[in-house]
Chain A
Amino acid sequence: MESTDLKQREIVIRRGLADRIFRRAMATGAILSLSLLALIASFLLFRGFEVFRDFGFSFITSAKWDSGSADGVTPASFGIAAMLVGSVVTAIIAITVALPFAICVALFLEYYAPSFIRKPLTAVLDLVAAIPSVIYGIWGYTILNNLAAGWAKSLNSWFDWIWFFKVPAPIFTRSPFIAGLLLALMILPITTSVAREVYSQAPRDQIDAAYGLGGTKWGAIRSVVMPFGRSGLVGGAMLGLGRALGETVAVYLVLNLVFKINLQILASAGGNVASLIATRFSEATPYELKGLMAAGLVLFLVTLAVNATATLIVNRARNTA
């Protein structure tokens, strides 16, 4: 290949000083802020490493979190199994609840809503995405907690033959179920906007064809749009999942921190990794702090994995479109 184009070819250009500084400054700024990020991740690993070394795999599998007594009689013991399970359980509840709503809002906005409804509704969704999570926390703490305890009670009375709807004691507030509901609300905007983007790319001609064949609009959506958007939607759901996994304050405010693996979602006990870090760190001993950093690293890796998968799926859906 003799032919080259502007991009590939090495080009000799003489430029003025101001331009050289401009280019250099731009590139430096970009690289600096990005390498800072990479560095920070490695700092976490660096600091938390000691704890990983001391506890090995039991850091993940043990549910016991004890910073030990000051005199050293009781040794410290760190394991995040309970919190990890709590993160996953609440996140799964959240996405299970949020997804159907997200699909409907997205379909409604994309295919049904006249523009005088669509515009304000989109604006509201964007706004909601920007509402600080502590506000949701307060709302969950003061209102949803009591409201949803009633729902939880009925769920329990009808379905207590299913193991994870059982409760050890008849207390229904501050449970993973309620935390999950709250998280569902919080991830609704992002899940909706991904769903919207996916649905908006459904092939127009096929929709018109299905519609033209005498079907209803709903029929066209069911036969063309929804199958088309399926994989993209999975990606959107996982993005929401990633967000729910990392939520701190909202979960802390509606959930009791209990270091016991709890799969009974209506029971009043739980916690997640992020709220563990936020609540424990202010009184943490230096050694426990390292434990929290290790916990942070685990959470980081989990969310990264979830999001990488999500991005992959969304991109594939986009490319095959």
Chain B
Amino acid sequence: MKQRFSPVVLAMAAIAVAFIALPILAILVRAPWSDAWDIVAQKTTRDALLVSLQTSVIAACIASIIGIPLSWVLARSSGRGISVLRTISIVPIVLPPVVGGIALLAAFGRRGVVGQYLYDWWGVSLPFTRTAVVMAQVFVALPFFVLAVEAAFRQNDRHLEEAAETLGASPLRVFLTVALPLARPAIIAGFALSWARSLGEFGASITFAGSFPSKTQTLPMAVYELVSVDYQLSLVLSLLMVAISVAVLVGLRDRWMSGDEQ
């Protein structure tokens, strides 16, 4: 079949690509390159970077640890109840993050439904701590993990699991030696996705954890706080974030794409 392009479609596609690439290019152009290193070396920047990296990695790990069993159960159960559960577990994807944050506050705030007992009984106060940042990030990132990994478990060849069973493998062994390794590309992808989500997370963490420099202030919050004060600085921080997420996603993408094609 010889390719014939409709000029309209082609033009629109080209415009769309430009449209997509524009924000990043524009930031690249506007960024104060000569001062970039000084800015990155500033304490605010370094602290925000550290907080961001620390919380997002922990959040992605937690999302994976909770998400693997959840995806497995969702993928391998049937019935009406399960489809309701599946819908519920995906809700945070469409939930505005700021609503998630305020809901977390309603639940775990010092006067929250659960939080008041945590505080009264154990003196634990979660909001405005780094733990709160992680909680907010897990809340937002988990569904992305589940979405990726559940699909993989579902597409796993059940015949292989049956074969493992006939060889005397227990359900636990089948899960660990067959289901999990076969879903590995998706698990890596899910980890990367939830990590990227955590890194860029803003709405939920700023409402639940606040933006306290060197304590809970992550890169996105620093950008947000600084934009009206020092917009050069916020441009550089934005670039830093784009660079980190692009680097990791590109690195992982090759791996999971080659995994898909096997």
Contact = CB atoms under 8 A, between A and B. Distances in A.
**Complex contact flag A–B (Cβ < 8 Å):** yes
Interface of A: 7, 15-16, 18-19, 22-23, 25-27, 29-31, 33-34, 37-41, 43-44, 46-48, 100-102, 104-105, 107-109, 112-114, 121, 123-128, 130-139, 141-143, 185, 188-189, 192, 211, 216-218, 221, 239, 242-243, 245-249, 252-253, 273-275, 277-278, 281-282, 286, 289, 292-293, 296-297, 299-300, 303-304, 307
B78 A29 contact: no
6 closest A-B pairs (Cβ-Cβ)?
A: A132-B200, A246-B96, A104-B12, A108-B13, A139-B23, A30-B73
A35 to B, nearest CB: 9
A299 B114 CA distance: 23
A37 B107 contact: no
A245 B96 CA distance: 8
A13 B62 CA distance: 33
Given A23-B171, A125-B20, A188-B20, A130 B99 contact: no
Contact of B103 (A44, A217, A252): A44
B9 A286 contact: no
A234 B189 CA distance: 28
A30 B242 CA distance: 33
A274 B101 CA distance: 11
17 contacts: A23-B171, A29-B73, A37-B89, A37-B91, A44-B106, A46-B113, A101-B12, A104-B16, A109-B13, A125-B20, A133-B200, A137-B224, A185-B22, A192-B16, A239-B94, A246-B96, A274-B98
Contacts of B111: 286
B30 A142 contact: yes
B4 A27 contact: no
Given A26-B72, A30-B69, A130-B196, A274 B85 contact: no
A262 B94 CA distance: 26
B210 A26 contact: no
Contact of A38 (B88, B96, B193, B211): B88
Contacts of B117: none
A107 B19 CA distance: 17
Given A30-B85, A274-B98, A296-B99, A134 B223 contact: yes
A246 B104 CA distance: 16
Interface in B164-201: 170-172, 175, 193, 196-197, 199-201
Nearest to A40: B103
Nearest to B253: A123
A286 B116 CA distance: 14
Contacts of B92: 37
A41 B96 CA distance: 13
Interface string B232-249: 001100100110011001
